[in-house]
A and B are shown apart, each in its own frame.
Chain A
Amino acid sequence: MQRRLSTWLLLAPAGLWFAVMLVLPLCFVLVFSFGQREAAGGYVPAFTFEQYANLPARWTAFRNTLTLAPLGTILSLLIAYPLAYFLAMRADPKWRTMLLILVIVPFWTSILIRSYAWIFILGGQGLPALVDWLGFGSIRLINTPFAVLTGIVYGYLPLMVLPVYVSLERLDKRLLEASADLGAPPLQSFLQITLPLSLPGVATGCMLVFILLMGEFLIPAMLGGGKVFFIGNALVDLFLQSRNWAFGAAVAVTLVAIMLVTVTLYMSLMRRLGGAREDVSLM
């Protein structure tokens, strides 16, 4: 009995925090999404599906997000997989931890400053100036989908490398030896053993990157220059500029709903792959 009491006392502060700062706010968003807009901006309580019916007004933001987020995810995977493979299979074990830390650390530093670095590099006086000087004519890089994709891959690469690395590292290396002993060429061993066994890591990485990309604001705001904008940019506009809280709440609920569907699909896919869930520590 005493033990139960102490357990509840230990859980109380965090529990209260999650209730007031997470559960309550998310309920508010749901309630607001059925409300109406006040003429001067703000919110009037109501129960209407008007805001949801109005969603097509922000169709461009949804379309951009739903094309560039998967594209960015695939690009990140293509760049991350060989690196994860190198770290897990080829790198000197002495240096492996340090190399891994060097991949993770940028992810935790300010994405704002790191995207800013790309404004600097892709901006008029950066790479394009260099290309022009070399005599290849003038090109424009900043404020294009290319710039946004570069920022995305740059920002989320660590998140993709890590889960793939974990699944490759756990792979039983004896399987590869057996395959080689039986005369399989390296490529065949890779395609029939390494690749299928690393799929759970690939799926985890893709899901993490895709979900975080869905809510991205900074990268398109900084590198897309108002031309390539995501749902996140529409949300900032709705809440902080046009102050249309009810409609903004409906957009936010839709965003979370899309994410939930993705996660559910992913979970059922993983179950079908027969895969054990990969517990990946990003810390």
Chain B
Amino acid sequence: MRLYALFVYVFLYLPIAVIAIFSLNAGRHASQFTGFSTQWYAKALSNPFVMEALWTSFVVALCSAIIASIFGTMAALGLQGMKGRVRVLADALIYVAVMVPGIVIGIATLIALVTLFGWINPLLALLAPEGRAPQLAMGYGSLIAAHALFSMSLVIIILRARLAGMDRSLMEASADLYAPPLATFRQVTLPLIFPGILAGFLLSFTFSFDDFIIAFFVAGSETTLPIYVFSSIRRGVTPEINAIGTMVLAVSLLLLIVAQLILRSGTRKGGR
């Protein structure tokens, strides 16, 4: 039994280890390990296309995670203790946002935004003649908006579990002691749900940073890091991709383990 578990863990982590090891390979060819070298990391980090894609991914992940954390927290607080039709609708929307495959979300966002922009852009041109009207197009905005949708659902799901497990008497006590609602929020609710918000932020960031399929449809002329990696793989396997992949995995593993630890230690203290 123990041996079997070990085998599965090896299966889960061996591929990650393999690319990490071969990213340090001096040779050009993937098949043989010809010596230790960090040259592929240097090469990747000095490649302007990689750096530009990395920057795009970073900005999109940061913006979408911030938006998702703020609006998601607000929505979770608004939904707290709510029943009836609004609650059912909200649950259904969150469920749909999480379960509909990313590829369908990507396609839907693409055709909706392209069509909407096709209607809005002529209007903008009318309002500001001389050809200087701002034109809407796919890019940073659509990437951030699409990623924020999924991330917002994550934040709401995490916080709803936390708020449900929270001791309501604390908030009632605060209200009984004549604290105004905002003070109760700042001094009681926020400290209790903050670990959840932080974990939600980290998960949102990782999701956006790693997402390929939604970005593939809505990125317009921008290139995120996963899109760059995907198109390089099509051109052939190189040690440089191993180096980029190792860095991407290292960043997400770190963020995820931090998020998990925050979530789990938090539930033990604040929860049931």
Residues of chain A touching chain B, judged by Cβ–Cβ distance below 8 Å, are 6-11, 13-15, 17-18, 20-26, 28-29, 32, 43, 79, 82-83, 85-87, 90-91, 97, 99, 101-106, 108-114, 116-121, 123, 125-126, 129, 154, 157-158, 211-212, 214-218, 222, 232, 235-236, 239-240, 245, 248-249, 252, 255-256, 259, 263, 281, 283
Contacts and interface: CB of A to CB of B under 8 A. Distances in A.
Contacts of A116: 19, 229, 233, 237, 241, 245
A159 to B, nearest CB: 12
Interface stretch (B40-48, B67-75, B132-140, B186-194): B67-75
Interface of B: 1-2, 4-5, 8-9, 11-13, 15-16, 18-19, 22, 29-31, 70-72, 74-75, 77-79, 82, 86, 90, 93, 96-97, 99-105, 107-113, 115, 145-146, 148-149, 152, 154, 156-158, 161, 181, 199, 203, 206-207, 210, 212-213, 216-217, 226, 229-230, 233, 237, 241-242, 245, 248-249, 252-253, 256-257, 259-261, 263-264
Nearest to B264: A97
B203 A283 contact: yes
B28 to A, nearest CB: 12
B108 A26 contact: yes
B40 to A, nearest CB: 14
Nearest to B4: A82
Nearest to B153: A18
A125 B29 contact: yes
Closest 9 CB pairs of A and B: A215-B101, A10-B78, A25-B108, A125-B31, A117-B15, A14-B75, A25-B112, A110-B210, A113-B245
Is chain B's binding surface mostly helix, strand, loop or mixed? helix
A252 B93 CA distance: 18
A1 B100 CA distance: 36
B18 A83 contact: no
Contacts of A118: 15
A106 B206 CA distance: 12
Specify which of A11, A43, A104 lies most central, judged by the most chain B CB atoms within 10 Å of its CB: A11
A14 B79 CA distance: 11
A240 B111 CA distance: 11
A10 B207 contact: no
B260 A236 contact: no
B210 A126 contact: no
B37 to A, nearest CB: 18
Contacts of B145: 17, 20-21
A104 B259 CA distance: 12
Contacts of B217: 239-240
A22 B104 CA distance: 10
B157 A120 contact: no
B72 A14 contact: yes
B74 A14 contact: yes
A101 B254 CA distance: 12
B148 A28 contact: no
Is chain A's binding surface mostly helix, strand, loop or mixed? helix
Nearest to A248: B107
A276 to B, nearest CB: 16
A21 B143 CA distance: 11
Contacts of B230: 112, 218
A252 B104 contact: yes
B24 to A, nearest CB: 14
A8 to B, nearest CB: 8
A255 B104 contact: yes
A25 B199 contact: no
Contacts of A29: 104, 107-108, 111
Given A28-B115, A108-B252, A110-B210, A126 B31 contact: yes
Nearest to B70: A13
B109 A17 contact: no
A120 B31 CA distance: 9
B217 to A, nearest CB: 7
A102 B9 contact: yes
B4 A154 contact: no
A235 B103 CA distance: 8
A113 B107 CA distance: 23
Contacts of B99: 211, 259, 263
Nearest to B17: A117
B103 A15 contact: no
A127 B104 CA distance: 35
Contacts of A113: 19, 229, 245, 248-249
B82 A104 contact: no
B241 to A, nearest CB: 7
Contacts of B154: 283
A152 to B, nearest CB: 13
Nearest to A21: B149
B203 A108 contact: yes
Specify which of A85, A216, A240, A283 lies most central, judged by the most chain B CB atoms within 10 Å of its CB: A283
A212 B9 contact: no
Contacts of B253: 105, 109
Contacts of A263: 99
Contacts of B78: 7-11
